[in-house]
Amino acid sequence: MPSTDSPESFLDDTPPGTTRIGIDEATELGEKALTRIGFDKEDVRIILDQLIDNALCGYPFTSLPRILAIANSPKTKNPRKPVRVIHETPVSAMLDGGNNVGYVTVYKTAEVAIEKAKNSQFSIVGAHDSYFSGRNAYYVEKVVNAGFVTIHVACGQPLVVPLGGARPALGTNPFCIGFPSADGPVIIDSGTAAMQWGEVTLHAHIDKPLPEGVAVDRNGAPTRDAKEALLGGVLPFGGHKGFGLSVAIQTMGLLAGAQLARGDVQDYGFLFITFDPGLLVPADQFADQVAALMNAIKATPRQPGVDEIRIPSERAFRERDRRRREGIVVEQKVIDALKAL
């Protein structure tokens, strides 16, 4: 059953070395760990809301394991200031993330994007001086549920090796586009790296080999050893096409102020471009048209052996419904590490 979601990005069952736990248990585990790291009650709520949703949608590497990455990040140990707007117009805003983790900064940036779009039918909002924003679709779904089309891009510090390079020069640089429809949000969320960095760190933590052709070691040589890849970098997806898209997103991050925090053009930036579809066509008609388009795509004649054509994020939404009933799957090593915090 073809899908835009990688089969490596989620767990369908409870394989050896994993444990299935309920939402309440996962929340309690995450709350204790994040509080011990030093986050206040409001930040813990914001961070965990996404981490649990990521797990429900079937993305283990962007769920509870990210708490370990947050705990080990030097940025987490540095002082934090409240997220604040440093420049704005009726349709735009620039936010200084104050070295807060991206789960908090980008959440608040999305809220500003929604509020300005409600007032003006359009907004462009950026944020910088932050890190680790997690799953873009989480924020975009909130914006789409408010009735808007949105494009969200995020760039970061160098982890991805450019074509022909032996050292990283680009972030993993994901992009996400969301549309309201009569059948619920349609969200296309994709990184421009051959493998997301969170997956690499999870593979390293559980000693799992990487797929072929996604990473290089510190010398620029191909490797399947995740620990070696952490010292080297990952490749862009799709060769020169993914590389070009990554360069474009890194450049758009400059509009979000990526260079402002530390004077480095290769740094974190988060940008939302949001608008009311009613600026162009009646919003309710657009929602009906999007639903009709998705249904037409799903109705395409299928190749032998294919049960269904899935729309991007359709699998994740189904997983969310199922895992709310059945619980989420977490690596036992991750649970042990969180308890050790």
Q: Is the pLDDT of residue 5 over 70?
A: no
Tokens of 272: 């939302």
Nearest to 59 by CA among 178, 191, 164: 191
Q: What is the CA radius of gyration of the chain?
A: 20
With a CB cutoff of 8 Å and minimum separation 6, the contacts of 55 are 26, 63, 64, 323, 328, 329, 330
Residue 65, SS3?
helix
Q: Is the pLDDT of residue 11 over 90?
A: no
Nearest to 271 by CA among 46, 147, 105, 115: 105
Q: Is the pLDDT of residue 277 over 90?
A: yes
pLDDT of residue 6: 43
End-to-end alpha carbon distance in the chain: 40
Q: What is the pLDDT of residues 223-257, one digit of tens each?
A: 999 999 999 999 999 999 999 999 999 999 999 99
Residue 339 has φ and ψ, to the nearest 5°, of: -65, -35
Q: What is the pLDDT of residues 185-208, one digit of tens each?
A: 999 999 999 998 888 988 998 899
Percent of the chain with pLDDT over 70: 96
d(CA 184, CA 182): 6
Mean pLDDT score of the chain = 93
Q: At what angle do helices 65-72 and 332-340 cross, to 10 degrees?
A: 40
Q: Is the pLDDT of residue 180 over 80?
A: yes
Give 13's pLDDT tier (boundaries 50, 70, 90): low
Q: What is the pLDDT of residues 284-296, one digit of tens each?
A: 999 999 999 999 9
- Under a CB-based contact definition with an 8 Å cutoff, are residues 64 and 123 in contact? no
pTM of this structure: 0.90
With a CB cutoff of 8 Å and minimum separation 6, the contacts of 60 are 10, 11, 202, 328, 329, 330, 331
pLDDT of residue 15: 77
| Mean pLDDT, range 319-337, rounded to an integer | 91
Give 17's pLDDT tier (boundaries 50, 70, 90): confident
Q: What is the pLDDT of residues 20-57, one digit of tens each?
A: 999 999 999 999 999 999 999 999 999 999 999 999 99
- Under a CB-based contact definition with an 8 Å cutoff, are residues 335 and 30 in contact? no
pLDDT of residue 4: 39
Domains of the chain in sequence order: 7-193+236-340 (3.30.1370.60)
